[in-house]
Chains A and B, each alone.
Chain A
């Protein structure tokens, strides 16, 4: 029995070891080493990389990245929750097609979809041309190469990751609970606030994590839609590995990012388990 379990688990464990444990261990090891002048890693132990990571310059990049990622997550939630709710209340035969439509953009590379936004948003782009044609504006709007464009790109890119888990948690909801609330005199708003929302919290938490984490590390969207005029932590890591040839410092910054995301996941599971305990107790 035990042997069979091991055999069945084997491929997953091997995958996990080769593509997660080993790379993270390498990153951890590199972060304590020095860079070679022409690249590569010199295995001399040092803590310099961590001291450098605390430089206000890099902390500012981190704070900026968190701000952008939080904004993108909140916007995605505000759009994604009603969308997921609507899908869950559709007649069953409509749900699958609508869900497929939600995921459809994922079948195209994020890079190409991001370029498409450039076509739409630039000063000579479709949106500005259309608004000018309609006589609504005289000067083109600056829609590209700013924070607005970055947040838009991230929300657009990761919205399905918000909708799907929320949809799953709403669909799983027993409709009788809402009926019970209504029977006991709860209006629609109160029912939503006291019944639906708390019970779909796990879906919200999962959706927020799924949007926040890739937004925080993203470097394509700030590069293309931000016009390279801002730097997020993903850009910073990329430039350390590729431009500065400073793999140890790049590894240190990656480690900071991994730590931040790990802490977040820990916080999420702690909140959820506390909520579950309260529900059982209450």
Chain B
């Protein structure tokens, strides 16, 4: 779940794995976050605009911050407008995947950035490592625009270390003219009818690869029980025989070309298919009856940030309804900001009906959590599935 959808050639895996490149990128960026040019220890408090200053009238944030976010995930003018409004400079470092930025933070022990944009379970993982700032909501007045549901997300109730940037669901995206009966269940994907043989794709990333089977079996999307995961594995190995492939990046264009008729998709990405001017009107999205997840991409401030006032100012700026609205326009994802959603052009909401899902409906989905000690078990299960039959 990342916005590189609009890039014709999302180089996520290629770029994500070269640890050397990651190390270099960290080395290049570590020098920049602070407004104070000195590299002194924690005792060397800068004389000007000290972030640790007393809780009296806070000095106006200034200087520079380093933000890591996916490519194409900020509206074009967002940073420029923010700098114009506040005088704070923003260096946007781009990551290709969650794993990419977490790997960089791993290599630098949680330093080098003021703010990172990561999906919810990764924010939880970073917080578990003690790298995230406990948020002072007093410095985020615009958080009042967030939906009440936005601080009931299981990975971070009360938004103590993360603020959701976008959110949505995972479901079925299909061509109404290529299926004779409309899919309503995850089983329509796992046990496709004869007409869909080799015309369905599933998401390749572990969390969403297992999701349909876990939901059919009535288990959690964060399942850690090995016996339950094995049951899901058996279902998925059986389902694999009917698949066109596992696909995280081009599934919506396969729907457009007609190569696939039904795909497992993130709602926002299904919208990229719907946006197609030729067959987009025949593409639609449905949340299966067994239920689904509630994914969210979040903003978090690093504990190691040397310019926290500016970091708060940036997040608060994004929470302004008129700014968050431009995020919707760019990404076709929902934002957890009803005041922003109200500003979206009704024609856009009509064209992409899943944008109109209410926060209450979204909250019926299950937020992804960090898998903790079960992460290797999941990787093993996924390997068993992808190697089956080879």
B-binding residues in A (CB < 8 A): 19, 23, 35, 37-40, 57-58, 60-61, 64, 109, 111-112, 115, 118, 122-124, 142, 144-145, 219-220, 223, 226-231, 235-236, 238-246, 249
Contacts and interface: CB of A to CB of B under 8 A. Distances in A.
B222 to A, nearest CB: 15
Given A122-B259, A229-B240, A244 B245 contact: no
Given A39-B102, A111-B14, A228-B386, A245 B375 contact: yes
Contacts of A115: 9
A270 to B, nearest CB: 31
- Chain B's interface: helix, strand, loop or mixed, by majority? helix
Interface stretch (B25-33, B212-220, B304-312, B377-385): B377-385
Contacts of A244: 375-376, 378-380
Contact of B244 (A23, A145, A223): A145
B387 A142 contact: no
B358 interface: no
A230 B254 CA distance: 20
B13 interface: yes
Interface of B: 9, 11, 13-14, 16-17, 19-20, 97, 99-100, 102-103, 106, 125, 128-129, 198, 204-206, 240, 243-247, 250, 254, 257-259, 370, 372-373, 375-376, 378-380, 382-384, 386-387, 390
A112 B16 CA distance: 16
A19 B20 CA distance: 9
B14 A243 contact: no
Most chain A CB neighbours (cut-off 10 Å) among B243, B250, B386: B386
Most chain B CB neighbours (cut-off 10 Å) among A61, A64, A124, A229: A229
A228 B204 contact: yes
B387 A60 contact: yes
Most chain B CB neighbours (cut-off 10 Å) among A226, A236, A244: A244
A239 B372 contact: no
B198 A38 contact: no
B379 A239 contact: yes
Nearest to B372: A37
A238 B387 CA distance: 15
A134 B382 CA distance: 41
A23 B14 CA distance: 19
Given A19-B20, A37-B372, A111-B14, 8 more contacts: A57-B384, A124-B257, A145-B245, A230-B386, A231-B390, A235-B386, A243-B99, A243-B379
Nearest to A238: B17
B106 A39 contact: yes
Contacts of B106: 39-40
B376 A38 contact: no
A58 B386 CA distance: 12
A38 to B, nearest CB: 5
A111 to B, nearest CB: 5
A227 B254 CA distance: 12
Contacts of A235: 386
B245 A229 contact: yes
Contact of A57 (B17, B20, B244, B380): B380
A243 B13 contact: no
Nearest to A60: B387
Contacts of B100: 242
B375 A229 contact: no
A115 B383 CA distance: 24
A238 B99 CA distance: 10
Most chain B CB neighbours (cut-off 10 Å) among A37, A60, A111, A238: A37
B246 A228 contact: yes
B8 to A, nearest CB: 8
Given A227-B246, A227-B247, A242 B386 contact: no
A64 B387 contact: yes
B13 A142 contact: no
A229 B17 CA distance: 20
Given A23-B20, A228-B246, A239 B382 contact: yes
Nearest to A147: B390
A19 to B, nearest CB: 7
